[in-house]
């Protein structure tokens, strides 16, 4: 389970670094030159035509430190006196509202905001050669849009299976009947 966390981290670090180099002659260079940190927001959508499942904040300091904050779409934030989950806020008001809510929550501003669509996610995982997971028990989930049947042991997941596995972990982490998701997040 840690491997999938590490791979997710490496994929997201690669996204942050590629964005940094793409913007190195722009606002990123100016902010870092002034001694200010820069922050990027990635909205990770694992299911097509659904609100993002997670938001990732990647921060780069002038000292060269790189940090990541993974924010689940189920976290609630206040907006105009009403508490909504980030996913609900996205569905009601779109990406700018979600970005503003996260920026307010963390008291930062973003240099760049980007949505990672399922196809782009699949391409990144494919370039990595897939993701290796080690399951301690068989995992069977037949609940649309998920369709997982993974035997116990170590195995290499395709991009689609990786997305399905992460959706399972994100959406069922609090369900006590799904001990595998609970174990995954305890290790994470």
Encode burial over 74-104: b for 16+ CB neighbours within 10 A, e otherwise.
Answer: eeebeeeeeebebbbbbeeeebebbbbbbbe
Note the pLDDT tens digit of each residue in 103-138: 998 999 998 888 888 888 788 778 878 788 888 888
The answer to whether the beta carbons of residues 68 and 16 sit under 8 Å apart is yes
Note the pLDDT tens digit of each residue in 131-173: 888 888 888 888 777 788 889 888 888 888 888 887 777 766 5
* pTM of the full structure: 0.64
Residue extents of the structural domains in the chain = 2-120, 130-187
């Amino acid at each position: 389970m840690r491997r999938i966390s590490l791979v997710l981290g490496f994929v997201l670090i690669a996204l942050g670094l590629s964005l940094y180099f793409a913007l190195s002659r722009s606002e990123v260079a100016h902010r870092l030159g002034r001694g200010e940190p820069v922050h990027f927001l990635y909205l990770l959508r694992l299911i097509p035509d659904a609100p993002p499942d997670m938001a990732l904040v990647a921060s780069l300091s002038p000292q060269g430190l790189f940090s990541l904050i993974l924010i689940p779409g189920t976290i609630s934030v206040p907006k105009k006196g009403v508490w909504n989950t980030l996913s609900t806020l996205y569905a009601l008001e779109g990406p700018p509202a979600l970005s503003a809510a996260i920026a307010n929550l963390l008291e930062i501003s973003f240099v760049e905001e980007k949505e990672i669509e399922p196809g782009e996610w699949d391409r990144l995982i494919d370039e990595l050669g897939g993701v290796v997971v080690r399951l301690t028990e068989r995992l069977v989930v037949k609940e649309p849009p998920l369709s997982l049947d993974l035997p116990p042991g170590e195995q290499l997941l395709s991009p689609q299976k990786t997305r399905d596995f992460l959706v399972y972990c994100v959406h069922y982490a609090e369900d006590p009947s799904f001990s595998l998701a609970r174990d995954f997040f305890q290790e994470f």
